Every structure is written in C-alpha cells, then in structure tokens.
Structure 1
C-alpha cells in the first residue's frame, strides 16, 4: 500500500490539470448507502415490489408521486451526513491549483460543501428543487418537511427535485463541461465507482492524458487501462497522498 500511495503522490506532484470522476463509493464513506442496495418497496395497492431503479424513474414519479417521495425522502436525502476525508482532500487539491474539476454521479452536494468550486453534477442534486409550474426554488429541508407530494407555496404546483431520474436525459451543459474537463486533463482520477451506470461511465473515454488512476474497493472494467489501481478506501488513499504534497 505504501508503494501505491507513493506512486499516487508522485503523479499528483507532476500533474497540473487533474480531474476527479467519482461515484457512490465517494459518499458511502459519509454514511450514505448506495440507494441501489435498497430492497425496494412493496406496494400494497398494486401487490407489486418495485426495484430501487424503478422507484427513482420518471414514469414512477409521474404515476405514483406519493410513493416516489416516500422512497426519495427515506433513501436519497441524508440531512445529517457530512463530507468525508476524501471530499476534504479533493478541496485541498483544488486549492493547490492542481485539481481543475470534479465530475460526480452523486447528488448530495458534498464536494461543494467541502470547498470545491468546479463541480459537474451529472445526476443533479437533492439540495435543489423547483416548482414544475412557476419554477420557484426550494431546498431539501422543504422536501423533507412536506407531507405527501411537495407543493409550491406560491402557485400550488408540484415541486420536483433537480435530480436526473431513470428515463430522463442528462443536462447538455453539464455533459459538455464534464467532457471538456476530462478531455483536457493530464491526470484523471476515477474513484468510488464501479463504472456500470451509463451514460455517465462512458465519459471517461474522452480522457487521453498521461495518467489514469483508479481508486475503488472492488475491480472495475477500466482496471486494465489504468496506470495505477488502488483497491482501498478512497478517503484514506486521497487524504494520505494529498497530505504528502501539501
């Protein structure tokens, strides 16, 4: 492990345009479970058990809004969770001028809470919610405190989370920014993702820089392409390496 940390430290020292691409494993160390590990939800009215993916799909949101929000509030918003050592280390790396962007599949806003400024949120954020009629903004506290389907206090319209649901497309501006950042990076660090969620996982194909680093507890489809693979806690690995160059 020491040799791997030393190699990562050397890569970080020699890099001037680093991009971090992160997934659910980045948030699990803050105590947020991957929602896909949920057992789903049994709907008594329909006598059907829905999978987690179905429960956060656009069609489920439209057809069963109350059940959608029950699952969403229970499994996707964690108001007491905080950024972990990995988030803090990446904010430090940006302060040094080395990390230019973060591309994240997570929706918790922890990278910004830790201090990162350039963050492309591929799947949106639970911290932002908008009325579908008048577009008034609401925070996550409003959603948590709502009973049933959250409704706008100004016009009575439904309030929808600014989260990309299954069956919905990613935001074009976010995609363009992420692709541009990855394409121009000299080092791409992929962390806490199994690279199975598309189209997000396909963005790493735009990388043509010098160093591809993969930090994940389990193996991924990109392990054989990486210059450095570390199967360990992402928070521990990042904080150890970044502390060595600060």
Structure 2
C-alpha cells in the first residue's frame, strides 16, 4: 500500500535527528492571516482605501515620508492580534519540545510560532510584537502602536515608533541569517511550508540544505519543487494534524 504524505513525513520525522522548518505566509493562512501573493491575498486585494501599492506603503521611504498612511495600512492589513496558532504551529512546537526540531526559520511577522510554544524562532523579517523609538531606541510591545494615535510616539522622548519589521529598502538582520544558515547546514530533515520561495535573499536559504530529506508543503508551484523529496499541495493544517496523530503528540 502506498503511504500518503503525512505517513511519509511522520516516518522521516521519527528517523531525523535535527529538523529545521522554513516557513512563509502560507503557514498562517489557516489562522486567518492572509498571505501576500495568492488570490485574495494582500497584494491581490482592492486598494480603494489606499492610493499606493502595498509594496510602496511597506517601504522604508514611505514609513518616514508618509508615516500616518503607513500606520493606517499597517494596522488594517498587517497586524492580526487575535489570530491563534494552527495545527502546523503546534506540530512544530511539539517537535522542538521533543528534541527533534532545532529551529523554526520564518518569513512571517505574526509571532504565532512563539504563541504555540516554539522557542528557537528565527524571524528573518522581524515581528509586529516588537517596536522601537526611532529617536532614543526605547522598546515597546504591539499595544503601543495599536492605540488611538494616528502616529504612535515614544512616551519618553516623543520620537516616532517603528515596528521591528523589515521594510522594503532595509537589510535583513545578519545575525538571524547566520543562525538560519547554521541550522539548515546541520539539519538532516528540512520542512518547507507555505512559501512561494520567490522572496530573496530569504528563499535562497533553502538551496543551502544538503541533508537527507527535503519536504515541501505549498499549494502552488515553487522554483524548488524539483529539489523536494516530498511535495505536498494539500492543506498544511490537515497534514500537520495527521502527522501529530501518527507521532502521538496529542
């Protein structure tokens, strides 16, 4: 009898010593957070409320030049404080707790991996949960930028607060990238989920994997499909839930 995708993945997880997960927006869509490029995603949604493309409004130049509009867009389209982890987030937390998974590398900024219980989370694009004053560097949580003020400011010096997310025109954190490369090079199983693998340089990290098995879970084709040992296009949440049951993590 041919094994289904969940059975194959569960078997590889049992055999693995060091697992690394690399994920994108599709990891959180089943938590109610839209992705970027699919139908109905952020870049596909109507822009009647905003006269600029999302790529422009999420740029460093726009943040400093049109701060009030940046925050209107950011609060309405980029932040989902009520979202809860889904089965994939919970599976990864289980795997880390069991000593199997070394790191979660994520392009997401929603903090759901930590909310599910993961500890070693490498956020290549930052997080909405962290914010800092552009003048004095004082740090703030998400609540500080979600208040009534059109432009959130520092309570100490009055400087403008900026989310700790990587905007267009900004560099990725070199320490996070180095830690990601190390985790990938040490892994014998890499699970890639919910990413089109088109955003560079983060997507190029997948090409650094030389371990035993590469499992790729994404609804649409990616440039790395031919490199995958297991290609899954069905619901990530459904697959993760079945894997959790097969591994008896429930």
Q: Pick the TM interval, shorter chain.
A: over 0.9
Q: Which residue of 2 aligns with 1:22?
A: 23
Match of 1:37 among 26, 40, 44: 44
Q: Which residue of 1 aligns with 2:38?
A: none
Question: In structure 2, how many angstroms separate the alpha carbons of the residues matched to 1:235 and 1:172?
Answer: 31
Shift of 1:99: 0.7
What are the superposed Cα offsets for residues 182-236 of structure 1, whole Å, 9 maximum, x if unpaired? 1111011000011111111011111110100001111111111100001111111
Question: In structure 1, how many angstroms separate the alpha carbons of the residues matched to 2:26 and 2:70?
Answer: 24
Give the alignment's TM-score, normalised by structure 2.
Answer: 0.93
Shift of 1:37: 3.3
Answer whether contact 2:5 2:239 (CA < 8 A) is retained: no
Answer whether contact 2:132 2:164 (CA < 8 A) is retained: yes
Provide structure 1 residue ranges, at least 5 long, that are not aligned to the other structure: 44-48
Q: Which residue of 2 aligns with 1:46?
A: none
Answer whether contact 1:22 1:103 (CA < 8 A) is retained: yes
Shift of 1:42: 5.5
Q: Do residues 107 (structure 1) and 109 (structure 2) align?
A: yes
Match of 1:176 among 178, 184, 192: 178
Answer whether contact 2:18 2:102 (CA < 8 A) is retained: yes
Deviating 4+ runs (over 4 angstroms): none
Q: Could you say if the C-alpha distance between residues 41 and 152 of structure 1 is closer, same or farther in structure 2, counting changes exceeding 3 Å? A: farther
* Matched positions, count: 241
Counting only pairs closer than 5 Å after superposition, residues 39-118 of structure 1 correspond to structure 2 as 39-40=46-47, 49-118=51-120
Answer whether contact 2:24 2:108 (CA < 8 A) is retained: yes
Question: In structure 2, how many angstroms separate the alpha carbons of the residues matched to 1:125 and 1:84?
Answer: 18
Q: Which residue of 2 aligns with 1:10?
A: 11
Q: 2:94 is paired with a residue of what secondary structure?
A: helix
Shift of 1:2: 5.4
Q: 2:167 is paired with a residue of what secondary structure?
A: coil
Answer whether contact 1:85 1:235 (CA < 8 A) is retained: yes
Question: In structure 2, how many angstroms separate the alpha carbons of the residues matched to 1:76 and 1:194?
Answer: 19
Answer whether contact 1:134 1:155 (CA < 8 A) is retained: yes
Aligned-residue Cα RMSD (Å) equals 1.4
Q: Do residues 191 (structure 1) and 198 (structure 2) align?
A: no
Question: In structure 1, how many angstroms separate the alpha carbons of the residues matched to 2:45 and 2:183?
Answer: 33
Answer whether contact 1:39 1:52 (CA < 8 A) is retained: no
Q: 2:146 is paired with a residue of what secondary structure?
A: helix
Question: In structure 1, how many angstroms separate the alpha carbons of the residues matched to 2:127 and 2:48?
Answer: 23
Answer whether contact 1:123 1:170 (CA < 8 A) is retained: yes
Answer whether contact 2:129 2:141 (CA < 8 A) is retained: yes
Q: Which residue of 1 aligns with 2:151?
A: 149
Provide structure 2 residue ranges, at least 5 long, that are not aligned to the other structure: 36-41
